[in-house]
Chain A
Amino acid sequence: MNDPYSVLGVSPQASDEEVKKAYRDLARKYHPDNYHDNPLADLASEKMKEINEAYDTITKSREQGGGSSSGYSYGYGGSAYQSAGQRQGAGRAQYVQIRNLINANNLAQAESMLNAISEHDAEWYYLMGSVYWRKGWMDQAGQYFRTAATMEPGNVEYRNAVQYMNQGGQAYRPAGGGDMMGGDMACNMCQNLICADCCCEMMGGNLIPCIGCR
C-alpha cells in the first residue's frame, strides 16, 4: 500500500484534526453519491477504499492511550449499486434481466432487449431512461423517467429519479464552485455538507441508494 499520509495528502507531522479534515475532504470528493450510476463508479470506489484504509492505518498507529476508534468511515456498501434489480419481484422476468444488464454496464444489449418489447409500461420507460442515463444522454433519460412517473405516480423509485434529475443531481464541487443551474449557491453547498455528514437516503429510494455509514 502507498504511504497513508501521501494518500491523504498531509505530512506525517499533521495534527489529528488536519488528518481528519483531509480525510473528510477526500471522502466528500469520492463519495459514492457523486458517482451514482456512473461508468467510473468502480474507480471512485477504489479510490475511496484507498482513502479509508489510509485513514484507518493512521488513526490506528496514532491510537496509543486514547483508544478512540475512528468509528466512522465512508464506504461503498458492497452491492449498493446493484440494488435496483432485486426488489422488482413482481416485474417481468425480462425486466429483471434487463436491470442486471444495465447494472453490468451492458447497455447495447439492454437497449436491444427493451426495443424488442412492444408493450411499453412504466417500468419499460424507467429502464429505457436508465439506459440513456448511463450513456450520458441526460435529456432523454429525464423524459423517459418523467413518462414512467406519470404512468405510475405511486412508484417511489420513478418519482425519485425525476426529482433527482430536476434538481440537477449531485456532485462534488470545491467550496465556492459554481453550478450550471443558476440557482443559489448556498443551497448547493448545503447539499454537499449534508452529503458529507449524513449521506443516508437524502433523496431516498433507489436512484441514490442508501450506502450508509459503516
Chain B
Amino acid sequence: MYGYVRPVKGELKVSEYERYRGVYCGLCHELSRRYGFLARFLVNYDFTFLAMLLAGDERQQSCPRRCAAHPIRKTQCLCHTESLAAAADMTVILGWWKLADGGEDKRPPLCWGYKLACLLLKRAYKKAAGRQPDFARAVEVDLEALRRLERENCPSLDEAADKFALILRAIGQGLPEGAGRRVAEELLYHLGRIIYILDAADDLPEDEKSGAYNPLRFRFRQENGRLTAEDEKTLRAGLQLSHNALAGAYALMEENPYGPILSNIIYLGLPAVTQAIFAGTWKAPAKYHRERRSI
C-alpha cells in the first residue's frame, strides 16, 4: 500500500521495536506460507499496523526464522495467528487490486510490469478472495466506484476519500457485532480517509505535471504545484479533524497487546508523516533514506 502508517522509530522502546519488526516479518512469512514467494513483495507497513490493531486476545508468540532478506541470522517473527492470517489475506486482495489499478493507469512500459505482476499473483488473489469474500467484494465495488469518480474528475475530496475509507472500513466487518466493531470501523474509516488524502497531497506535484486525476487539483487552488498557504491550512485542519475522530475511536478500543506501538503510530507517526509530506521532504530523493529511517 502506501507506507504512511508507521511508527516514529526513535520513540519506540527497543523491545517495542523488536516486536514491531516481528509482526512485519511475521506478516511477510505468513504471506509466503499462504500465497507463495511472490506474495511476499506485497508486505507493507499499513497492514502491519492493521495486523496489530486486530490482534485481539490471541497469544502472540514469536519464532526464529530465516528468509531471503535475512539469510544468515534468524529473525524473531510473530508466529501464525488467526488475525495475522486474515491480515495476510487482505494484504493480497488490496495489493492485487492496486496492481490492477496501476496496470490501467500507468503509461507503457510501466504498465506492462503491473500487468505482469497482476497475472503472476492472480492465483494468490483468487485464493485470498475465497477466504475473505466479503472484503474482496467490498474492495472491488468501492474501487470501481472510485475509478468512476476519477474518470468524471470528481471535484469533491470527501466523496473520493469516502470510497477508499469504505475499503478500510470493510476490514472491520469480520469482527463480531457490538461496540468493539463499531469502534474499529470508525477508526478504520478515518484511517482510510487520512491515507487517501495524504496520498493525494503526496502525488499533487506529479499529477499536476502529468495531468492525472487528483482530487486536490479540483478542490483547491495551486501555485507552482503546491497548494496556496490558505488552502493548505484548510486541508490540514480537515486532516486534523479526521485524526481527532481516529484518536477518539482508538481511545475507546479494548486493550491491545501492541498498545504502545499503536499509540506511537497514531499519535506520533501519522503527524510526522503528514509533516514530511507537506514539507515536501517525504519523496525527496536525496533525503529519501534519512527521512524515512527517522520516522
Contact = CB atoms under 8 A, between A and B. Distances in A.
B236 interface: yes
Interface in B166-218: 179, 182-183, 186, 189-190, 193
A172 B247 contact: yes
Contact of B158 (A38, A138, A166, A173): A138
B294 interface: no
The A interface, classified by DSSP as helix, strand, loop or mixed, is: loop
Contact of A181 (B156, B158, B237): B237
B61 interface: no
B186 A166 contact: no
Given A40-B249, A174-B263, A167 B237 contact: yes
Contacts of A47: 252
A44 B237 CA distance: 23
B268 A142 contact: no
B159, B165, B271 interface centre (most CB from chain A within 10 Å): B271
B238 A40 contact: no
A40 B248 contact: yes
Contacts of A35: 248
A137 B156 CA distance: 10
B267 A137 contact: no
B267 A168 contact: no
Nearest to B242: A138
Contacts of B75: none
B263 A142 contact: no
B243 A171 contact: yes
Interface stretch (B45-53, B90-98, B130-138, B272-280): B272-280
Interface in B210-254: 219, 233-245, 247-249, 251-252
Contacts, number: 111
Interface string B110-123: 00000000000000
Contacts of B234: 139, 142, 166
B30 interface: no
A43 interface: yes
Given A137-B158, A178-B267, A165 B252 contact: no
A34 B243 CA distance: 12
A82 interface: no
Contacts of B263: 174
Of the four ranges (under 10, 10 to 19, 20 to 34, 35 or more), the interface on chain B belongs to 35 or more
Given A35-B248, A168-B237, A169-B241, A180 B274 contact: yes
Nearest to A140: B158
A173 B236 CA distance: 17
A39 interface: yes
Interface in A127-180: 132, 135-140, 142, 165-174, 176-180
Contacts of B159: 137, 140
A142 B220 CA distance: 14
A43 B193 contact: no
A139 B182 contact: no
B182 A40 contact: yes
B252 A178 contact: no
A117 B9 CA distance: 52
B162 interface: yes
A30 interface: yes
Contacts of B25: none
A137 B158 CA distance: 5
A66 interface: no
A114 B159 CA distance: 18
Nearest to B272: A178
A67 interface: no
Contacts of A179: 240, 243, 271
A62 to B, nearest CB: 26
Contacts of A24: none
B79 interface: no
Task: Identify the interface centre among B233, B247, B251: most chain A CB within 10 Å of its CB.
Answer: B251
B139 interface: no
A29 interface: yes
Contacts of B252: 30, 40, 43-44, 47
Contacts of A182: 236, 274-275, 278
B267 A173 contact: yes
A181 B236 contact: yes
A111 B105 CA distance: 34
A176 B189 CA distance: 25
A44 B179 CA distance: 11
Contacts of A132: 158
Interface of B: 156-159, 162, 165, 179, 182-183, 186, 189-190, 193, 219, 233-245, 247-249, 251-252, 263, 267-268, 270-272, 274-275, 278
Given A43-B182, A182-B275, 6 more contacts: A29-B251, A40-B186, A138-B238, A166-B234, A178-B267, A181-B233
